[in-house]
Structure 1
């Protein structure tokens, strides 16, 4: 390994140490450990360390084809220490500003969606439903009024006929009225007899199906 490659390796590992410190702070900021379950925190920690190790080795492979030397770990520690001493406060403020920016942007988009799309559609649907309900009430009122008018017309039309029929019935001789009553009673008796037979037949069929 030439001195140039070693120098580039040292610079890359110092940068990776600082980048690892920033990634660790970002990970802790979004993980919110006190509110997470322990097993979930454990799995996230394992995945985080594996990804960081793979990323560092990938950068090392690009710089010096993956040759591991003792000074590489020292460079990583130096980069991490430099981040903790100099860059951590600035980075955390920058990270918090970025998070607040995206939160504000999300709230703005939600408000715009509610004001420009959701609220107009909601009020349009409510207006349409109110219009349909109003039309339904008007139609129902018209039908009820028509039914009352129809009943009144039928009553006015059939009441004189009933009076005339009763008058004619009272004028007819008793022999005729008696014969008509007898005929009516016979027809009623025959119809009731047939109805009873049909009921017996139906009950027998159902009893056979149940057995």
Structure 2
């Protein structure tokens, strides 16, 4: 392996170490912001190291065809050390700032949604309810006015038709009386009523006997 390839591999491992530090700090800040339970921290740590190992192996395969040498681990350690010495605080502050910015954007979108959609819908609902109540009250008022207007006319028509209505009523009464007598509706109704009362008394007496 040529010296240029070794230096290139050393440089890529240095960058890989820095990248591992950035991802680890970002993951740590996000887990703190999301308040992930401590029971899940070991699981996410394991997933992080698995992902970091795969990524480093891919970089190593691209730089020197996957040959593992001592300087590779040295490059990783130097990259991680340089990151935590120079960039860790900046990255942590940057991730916190990004999270705050995302939260502010989400809150702004929610407020705009409430202002331009929810509140107009609420206002429209209240306005529709008010209009409906007004129309209902106005309709009832019109009905009352119409009743008051047509009542004298109805009384006049009733008075004018009373000479015709009274004979018709007497004829219906005289025609219906024999029919009632023929079918014995009153007697049958009284008998059915008596049977129902007797049945009710029997049921009540049986319930009393069972209780006693």
Distance 1:96 1:5 in 2: 38
Query: By how many angstroms is 1:74 displaced?
Result: 2.0
Structure-2 residue corresponding to 1:86: 86
Structure-1 residue corresponding to 2:113: 113
Task: Please report the TM-score for the alignment, with normalisation by the length of structure 1.
Answer: 0.70
Aligned pair count reads 187
**Contact between 1:13 and 1:75, CA under 8 Å: does it hold in 2?**
yes
Alignment of 1:64-143 (within 5 A): 64-143=64-143
Query: By how many angstroms is 1:190 displaced?
Result: 4.7
Distance 1:34 1:100 in 2: 12
Structure-2 residue corresponding to 1:207: none
Distance 2:45 2:182 in 1: 93
Distance 2:183 2:35 in 1: 82
Structure-1 residue corresponding to 2:204: none
Partner SS state of residue 32, structure 1:
helix
Partner SS state of residue 36, structure 1:
coil
Distance 1:181 1:119 in 2: 67
**Contact between 2:29 and 2:95, CA under 8 Å: does it hold in 1?**
no
Structure-2 residue corresponding to 1:47: 47
The 10-residue stretch of structure 1 (75-84 or 110-119) with the greater mean CA deviation from structure 2: 110-119
Structure-2 residue corresponding to 1:208: none
**Contact between 2:26 and 2:91, CA under 8 Å: does it hold in 1?**
no
Unaligned runs of 5+ in 2: 193-212
Structure-1 residue corresponding to 2:63: 63
Task: Name the Cα RMSD after superposition.
Answer: 3.5
